Amino acid sequence: MDRVHGGKAEIVGGEAGHLTKVLRVEKGQRYEISDNEHLYLGEVELARREQVVFRIIGKLETRELPLRVTLYASLIKFDHFEWMIGKATELGAASIVPVITERSEKGLDRAVGKRMERWRRIARESSQQSRRWRAPEVDEAIRFHAALSASGLRYRLEESGAARPVLQVLPGERKPEDNVSVMVGPEGGWTDGERRAAEEAGWVAVSLGPTVLRAETAAIAAVAILLAAWQIAG
């Protein structure tokens, strides 16, 4: 749903088709709907194949996440990357940024532009399924060195045993307004040059444990750990 106007909200196209064909919405049914800024209770006034119109009954209180987590995810095979987008969205990532690293699989960087619309749709659908009122942003892919300029608390996942466990390096005082970025490497790992550049830019190397995780597994584990740590602190 793009916006609310005059006490009405409209969903058209493929999303309307999903509502009518799969969910089989009918006139008079009530749903929680969002324009990505606010959450509303709406009643179906019209349900057609490619158009569903809601009457807005009222605005609902939103459930705020304990902090804003940005996931900088190195490009991996697209089916794995899409799975990661869906799960990171369900967990509560606020933003997902594809990152092109030295060991990203060849050719992925050239094809990523054609995938952006699909990735954003996956994030939007996953947010709806998990009843998030705001879908995460899925940004255009950037190069590794551009990602290093992120602000706030910044952590880079490292499979090496030299990195400290992530829970040991989190700040003692954790506030809901904190911005946290976590960067996950490709299947081939980081190069020594990338490690040095990240350290010089202030990114803290952290570990999720002694086992070697797939990139997509590490990504969702990190998002879950960070959100849980801030939720407990709050």
Asked if residues 166 and 222 have their Cβ atoms less than 8 Å apart, the reply is yes
Same domain, 76 and 44: no
Same domain, 81 and 29: no
CATH at 201: 3.40.1280.10
Q: At which of 21, 41, 60 does a domain end?
A: 60
Give the span between the Cα atoms of 111 and 147, in whole angstroms: 19
Token pair in block for residue 54: 């809601």
Number of domains into which the chain is organized = 2
What pLDDT does residue 69 have?
Answer: 97
Same domain, 140 and 199: yes
What pLDDT does residue 1 have?
Answer: 62
Same domain, 99 and 156: yes
Same domain, 76 and 186: yes
Count other Cβ atoms within 10 Å, centred on residue 28.
9
Same domain, 92 and 150: yes
Residues lower than pLDDT 50 in the chain:
none
Token pair in block for residue 91: 């967990």
Give the span between the Cα atoms of 96 and 192, in whole angstroms: 24
What pLDDT does residue 15 have?
Answer: 79
Count other Cβ atoms within 10 Å, centred on residue 177.
6
pTM: predicted TM-score of the whole model, two decimal places: 0.83
Asked if residues 182 and 218 have their Cβ atoms less than 8 Å apart, the reply is no
Whole-Å CA distances, 179 to 86, 144, 182, 210: 21, 19, 10, 27
Q: Which domain holds residue 47?
A: 4-60
Same domain, 40 and 77: no
Token pair in block for residue 193: 């040059």
What pLDDT does residue 176 have?
Answer: 80
Same domain, 133 and 49: no
What pLDDT does residue 181 have?
Answer: 98
Same domain, 55 and 165: no
Q: At which of 60, 83, 102 does a domain end?
A: 60
Same domain, 123 and 202: yes
CATH at 12: 2.40.240.20
Q: At which of 32, 60, 88 does a domain end?
A: 60
Same domain, 117 and 190: yes
| Positive/negative CA dihedral, 88, 89, 95, 100 | positive
What pLDDT does residue 177 have?
Answer: 80
Same domain, 162 and 211: yes
What pLDDT does residue 21 have?
Answer: 85
